Chains A and B, each alone.
Chain A
Amino acid sequence: QKEVEQDPGPLSVPEGAIVSLNCTYSNSAFQYFMWYRQYSRKGPELLMYTYSSGNKEDGRFTAQVDKSSKYISLFIRDSQPSDSATYLCATPGGGADGLTFGKGTHLIIQP
């Protein structure tokens, strides 16, 4: 079982919709979680950094951690075509040093 799992998509939604992106993780000891956005031919860009359970909001973005179900989510409100990118969840936990990444979800916002 992979330590961090993500549906690769693509996920296609109309402009203005609320987007929900999700990851599951296997180890209940993980406490820190990150969301990165990666545009084509660019490096991952840090969007959100959360600790433990609960919600964190930053503009149109909300990160949510549910430790009881080992589920992390990123919500995007009022989605824009410029939000079209691959979204990666990551945690510094895991068997590997550095960050353990999900494989990313490809999001397409249709104008």
Chain B
Amino acid sequence: NAGVTQTPKFQVLKTGQSMTLQCAQDMNHNSMYWYRQDPGMGLRLIYYSASEGTTDKGEVPNGYNVSRLNKREFSLRLESAAPSQTSVYFCASSEDYSNQPQHFGDGTRLSIL
């Protein structure tokens, strides 16, 4: 079972470049999330989509945009990458946006030079 699949796994960008991180889930989940994980900061929510057709900001949305392409896919876009966006990005999904546990992909490691 694939679960949550993220692409790419690694990426190096130069400051100012743009990039889209892709996420797809095959669990028929309604809700999807993007987190970033930084040393000493833990996991922080960037954006989420409670259901197909909706997106909302999380704790650290500045510099990012998202698109819920369909029920399976949720992408994260960096329009003009900055070194502060160097991080590991995780996509997650859950059955719905309530108290359900979330299931995570294996992350995208992004370095901005």
- Contacts of A42 on B, CB cut-off 8 Å? 106-107
Q: A43-B4, A46-B101, A88-B43 are in contact. Are A96 and B58 (CB under 8 A)?
A: yes
- Size class of the contact patch on chain A: 20 to 34
**Inter-chain contact count A-B, CB under 8 Å?**
56
Chain B residues in the interface with A (C-beta under 8 A): 4, 33, 35, 40-45, 48, 56, 58-59, 90, 92, 98-107, 109
Out of A31, A49, A88, A97, name the residue touching B45 (CB < 8 Å): A97
Q: Does A34 contact B (CB under 8 A)?
A: yes
Binds B, one of A11-19, A54-62, A64-72, A100-108: A100-108
- Contacts of B4 on A, CB cut-off 8 Å? 43
Could you tell me which residues of chain A, from 14 to 44, have a CB within 8 Å of some CB in chain B?
Answer: 31-32, 34, 36, 41-44
Instruction: Give complex CA distance A44, B106 in Å.
Output: 8
Instruction: Give complex CA distance A32, B45 in Å.
Output: 18
Out of A31, A44, A49, name the residue touching B104 (CB < 8 Å): A44
Q: A97-B58, A98-B33, A98-B35 are in contact. Are A103 and B107 (CB under 8 A)?
A: no
Could you name 15 residue pairs across A and B whose Cβ atoms are closer than 8 Å? A43-B90, A43-B104, A43-B106, A44-B43, A51-B99, A92-B100, A96-B44, A96-B45, A96-B58, A97-B56, A98-B33, A98-B92, A99-B102, A103-B41, A104-B42
Q: Does A7 contact B (CB under 8 A)?
A: no
Chain A residues in the interface with B (C-beta under 8 A): 31-32, 34, 36, 41-46, 49, 51, 88, 92, 96-99, 101-104
A32:B58 contact, CB within 8 angstroms = no
B103:A98 contact, CB within 8 angstroms = no
Instruction: Give complex CA distance A103, B43 in Å.
Output: 7
Instruction: Give complex CA distance A104, B103 in Å.
Output: 17
- Contacts of B59 on A, CB cut-off 8 Å? 96-97
